[in-house]
Amino acid sequence: MSMTLYEFGPTRSSRARWALLELGAEYESIEDRAMIGSDELKKVHPLGKLPALLDDGRPLFESAAICTWIADCHPEGGLISPSGTWERAQHDQWVAFTLSELEAYLWSSARNTFVYPEEKRIEAVFPQNAMEAKRALGALDAHLADTEWLVAGKFSVTDIITGFTVNWARRTGLTGEFENVQTYNQRILDRPLCPFSKD
Ligand SMILES: N[C@@H](CCC(=O)N[C@@H](CS)C(=O)NCC(=O)O)C(=O)O
- CA-CA distance, 14 to 17, in Å (whole number)? 5
125/163 same-domain check:
yes
Among the listed residues 173, 186, 111, 112, the one whose alpha carbon sits nearest the alpha carbon of residue 137: 173
- CA-CA distance, 35 to 29, in Å (whole number)? 13
Share of the chain above pLDDT 70, in %: 99
Domain boundary residue, one of 34, 60, 77:
77
186/118 same-domain check:
yes
Predicted confidence band of residue 135 (pLDDT cuts 50, 70, 90): very high
Widest Cα–Cα separation across the chain: 50
From the number of C-beta atoms within 10 Å of its C-beta (0-12, 13-18, 19+), residue 122 rates as exposed
- Looking at the domain assignment, is residue 143 inside a domain? yes
Query: Can you give the pLDDT at residue 10?
Result: 87
Quick check: 1 pLDDT over 80?
A: no
180/93 same-domain check:
yes
Query: Can you give the pLDDT at residue 143?
Result: 98
Ligand 1 atom with the shortest distance to the CA of 12 = 10
Give pLDDT tens digits for 94-121: 999 999 999 999 999 999 999 999 999 9
Whether 45 lines ligand 1, by a CB cut-off of 6 Å, is: no
Give pLDDT tens digits for 170-186: 999 999 999 999 999 99
- Looking at the domain assignment, is residue 99 inside a domain? yes
Residue 95 belongs to domain with CATH number: 1.20.1050.10
- CA-CA distance, 170 to 182, in Å (whole number)? 8
Residue 26 CA to ligand 1 center (angstroms) comes to 24
Q: What is the mean pLDDT of residues 114-132?
A: 97
Q: What is the end-to-end Cα distance of the chain in Å, rounded? A: 36
Query: Can you give the pLDDT at residue 69?
Result: 98
Taking the alpha carbons of 136, 93, 19, 105 in that order, is the dihedral positive or negative?
Answer: negative
Residue 129 CA to ligand 1 center (angstroms) comes to 18
126/50 same-domain check:
no
Query: Can you give the pLDDT at residue 121?
Result: 97
Give pLDDT tens digits for 42-101: 999 999 999 999 999 999 999 999 999 999 999 999 999 999 999 999 999 999 999 999
116/160 same-domain check:
yes
36/106 same-domain check:
no
Domain range for 111 is 86-190
Q: Are 167 and 15 in contact (CB under 8 A)?
A: no
Among the listed residues 24, 2, 12, 9, the one whose alpha carbon sits nearest the alpha carbon of residue 193: 24
Distances (CA, A) of 88 to 67, 151, 157: 14, 8, 11
Q: Which residues pair with 83 in a beta bridge?
A: none
Q: What is the mean pLDDT of residues 143-167?
A: 98
Ligand 1, atom 15, lies closest to the CA of: 49
Q: Are 36 and 8 in contact (CB under 8 A)?
A: yes
